[in-house]
Amino acid sequence: MSDDNNNAPKRGFATRAIHAGYDPLDYHGALNPPVFLTSTFAFDRIETGIERFKGEAQGYIYSRVGNPTATVLETRLASLEGGEAALATSSGMGAITAVVWSLLKAGDEIIADRTLYGCTFALFTHQIQRFGMSVRFVDLTDPANLEGAFAPNTKMVFTESPSNPNMRLVDIAAVAKICRAAGVPLVVDNTYCTPYLQRPLELGADIVVHSMTKYLGGHGDLLAGAVVASREHVDLCRTVGIKEMNGACISAFDAYLVLRGLKTLPLRMDRHCANATALARDIAAHPAVDQVYFPGLESHPQHALAKRQMKDFGGMIAFELKGGLQAGIRFMDAVELVTRAVSLGDAETLVQHPATMTHASYAPEERARHGFTDGLIRLSVGLEDYADLRTDLIGALDRAAA
Ligand SMILES: Cc1ncc(COP(=O)(O)O)c(C=O)c1O
């Protein structure tokens, strides 16, 4: 029934989100993959263990390096992203650091787009320097800025699209072409889109990273991450990044929960997108609102790119109120159905304040330089009834403006 890594005709995305990487008949007919709660794996003879350690024989050794439940998830993710292989990790940051630790060494440089999730920004700006690495921020919304930007020690280009929190888009195909000519791998954080909406590897990127904590898990009940890339890159992330450096392997139970979430990914994403598109229009039309950042609005400067690069516009909205930060705080205190919380991609609609929460690692002048204001509010639009969300959000905007 599974249709991965063989010559079977490629099935549709929704089918693969449910079946890829798993055949019940391999596991006593169990409809769902068993959760292999084991840290280690027995060898039938000592030679088997020796051969596995040398990489001369296939088979499991220890769950930090591989686990059968994680393997099902990794095979499914590779199939959905269109990658050769995947590695599941304990968090999105575990995936990002696994890539950094396996590709870079002291003296190397990362070129990164100007806006990134706060902890990725903190890793690149405040932490990797302690290990002799450096970062250079380049505005990748114009790919031409990357031409000629490479130094001999540039070993990675890193971007999100859309970016967290201000919804800037990067033309992945154009940036990938420039990276390829320079021989530098392009890493794309695809958390906001998921492979259902955008597949960076098919656009020419080399490595995709995910926080599976978000839409892929989809239910706010786990932390997990992923790297999807060529087998060579994934093996390096597994054997260096995870095994010997950050130890951020996924637990079998969390791998199971992500597999369960993935089964409904297309259905959930369609609903996230529909709710967000309708709400972005409602919010933009409210007199208290100054700016709405949502790639599905014609007013978004990269709306045409969004239509070309993404299947739909996603479930994330950022906006600013005319009354600035104070009005934003009144708005966030006024919501009743929407939950005040960080994270994103859950069934529940979540609202948060990037400057003091997810992006607090940016100093005020860095926020200004990297293009987002203290008044910005981030909304992760959930799966509730649109009418209820509209009533709650428009009511809160009315009260914030009063
Ligand atoms: C775009 C993006 N990448 C990476 C991460 C880190 O993921 P995790 O919290 O699973 O470590 C996040 C978390 O919010 C994120 O939004």
User: Considering only CA atoms, which residue is closest to atom 16 of ligand 1?
Assistant: 117
Strands, sheet with 225-229, edge to edge from the N-terminal-most edge strand: 85-89, 225-229, 207-211, 186-189, 154-160, 109-112, 134-137
Which residue out of 117, 166, 316 has the highest number of ligand 1 atoms within 8 Å of its CB and is therefore the one to mutate? 117
Cα(321)–Cα(284) distance, integer angstroms: 10
How much is the pLDDT for 2? 45
What averages of pLDDT result for each successive group of 10 residues across the chain (402 residues)? 56 98 98 98 98 96 98 98 98 98 98 97 98 98 97 98 97 98 98 98 98 98 98 98 98 98 98 98 97 98 98 98 94 97 98 94 88 91 98 97 88
How much is the pLDDT for 83? 98
How much is the pLDDT for 1? 41
Is any ligand 1 atom within 6 A of the Cβ of residue 246? Answer: no
> What amino acid positions are annotated as catalytic residues?
64, 117, 189, 214
Is any ligand 1 atom within 6 A of the Cβ of residue 254? Answer: no
The total number of residues written for the chain in this structure: 402
157, β-bridge pairs: 111, 186
CA of 212, closest atom in ligand 1: 10
Could you tell me which residues come within 8 angstroms of residue 208 by beta carbon, excluding any fewer than 6 positions away? 81, 83, 187, 188, 189, 190, 195, 200, 201, 226, 227, 228, 229
Helices 386-401, 265-285: axis angle to 10 degrees equals 30
User: Considering only CA atoms, which residue is closest to atom 12 of ligand 1?
Assistant: 211
